[in-house]
Amino acid sequence: MADDMSLNPTRDDFSALLDESMGGRDFMEGQVVQGKVVAIEKDIAIIDVGLKTEGRVSLKEFGEEEGKAPIKVGDTVEVFLERVENAMGEAVLSRDKARREEAWTRLEAVYERNEPVMGAIVGRVKGGFTVDLGGASAFLPGSQVDIRPVRDVGPLMGREQPFAILKMDRPRGNIVVSRRAILEEARAEQRTELVSQLQEGEVREGVVKNITDYGAFVDLGGIDGLLHVTDMSWKRV
C-alpha cells in the first residue's frame, strides 16, 4: 500500500513537496520580501529570496535611492514579489514596487494621524501637478497649490515642502494632496496670535491688498483691516 501511495502521490503530497522546496516559507505574490544579492551581472542584480530560482532586478532600481551606496554581493534587500515563477522559471522581482509599497504603508499611517507629509512638486499634469512623496506619486490639484492663484509655479518646483493628504485610494493607487491646506492652517494660527496682540490706538504697518470705492483693505500680517476712504487723508481722496 505504501508503494502504491509513493507511485501515485496526492495533491497534499505535491503541496508538502512544494513547501519543502521553499524551506517552509510562506510566499505570496504581491508582497514585499527580503532577499540576498548573490551576484551582479553587468547592470543586473541576481537576488535570492528563498524560492527555487533567483530573480533579476535592474541596478537602476537601486541607484534611484538617494543617500545609499550601490548594492553589492551579500547585501540583504527588500523587493516586491510580482510572480513566483515566470516562463523562464525565474522569480519576478521589483525594487521600485517595493519602495512604493513601503511609501504607501508610511503615508497611510501619516494620513490616519492627520499629519502633514513632506514632498516635492516634480511635474505638471492636466488639472494640476505631480508630487513625489518619497516613493509614491500624488496629485496636487491646481486649486490646492496656494491660497491665491499662482501664475508662476517655477519657484515651487523641486523644493521639498509640507503637504496635507486629502484622499488616499490604495487599490487605485491614487493620492490627492494640498499645499493650500497647510498655508491656511498656518495663516489661521498667525491670525489668532495677531488678534490677541492687537490693541486699540496702536500704530502698525500693513500692506494694501485691495482698493475699493469706499476704502482700502490692508493686510496687517495675517488679518485684513479696512481703511475707510474718510480716514485716508485730511483732504478729499
Residue 191: its H or E element? helix 180-197
Lowest-pLDDT choice from 19-28, 96-105, 210-219:
19-28
Residues of the chain with CATH 2.40.50.140: 21-114, 116-197
**What is the number of other CB atoms lying within 10 angstroms of the CB of residue 226?**
13
- Looking at CATH, the fold of the domain delimited by 116-197 is given as OB fold (Dihydrolipoamide Acetyltransferase, E2P) (2.40.50)
- Cell readout for 30 is 504581491
Residue 23: its H or E element? none
Q: Is the pLDDT of residue 24 over 60?
A: no
80 — pLDDT class (breaks 50, 70, 90): confident
- pTM of the predicted model as reported, rounded to 2 decimal places: 0.61
* Alpha-carbon gap, residue 16 to 99, rounded angstroms: 33
Domain 21-114 has CATH 3.40.50.970: no
